[in-house]
Amino acid sequence: MTSYRLYRFGPRDRLLPPEVVLAKDDREAVDGAARLLEPGQAGEVWQGARMVGSFSKLGVFTPMA
């Protein structure tokens, strides 16, 4: 299992403390992170210094190239 971090944005787009997501790959990490987000909440998924992608406030995930 690999450790990923979900950074969520709270009211006024303030960064909240990260949540750890343990997953075997990026896809599983994104799925796990999606379950942690509240409706209307944006967030970013990171593995170490690599940004995996981001969720919009509409729940749309955009992977990083």
State the DSSP code for 9: B
Residue 33: phi and psi, rounded to 5, are: -65, -40
pLDDT at 28: 98
**pLDDT (0 to 100) of residue 65:** 72
37 has pLDDT over 90 = yes
Distance CA 34, CA 29 (A): 9
Q: What is the mean pLDDT of residues 34-38?
A: 96
Closest CA to 20 of 12, 8, 9, 11: 8
Which sequence spans correspond to the domains of the chain? 2-63
Mean of all residue pLDDT scores within the chain: 96
Q: What is the pLDDT of residues 7-26, one digit of tens each?
A: 999 988 899 999 999 999 99
Residues 32-36: what's their mean pLDDT?
97
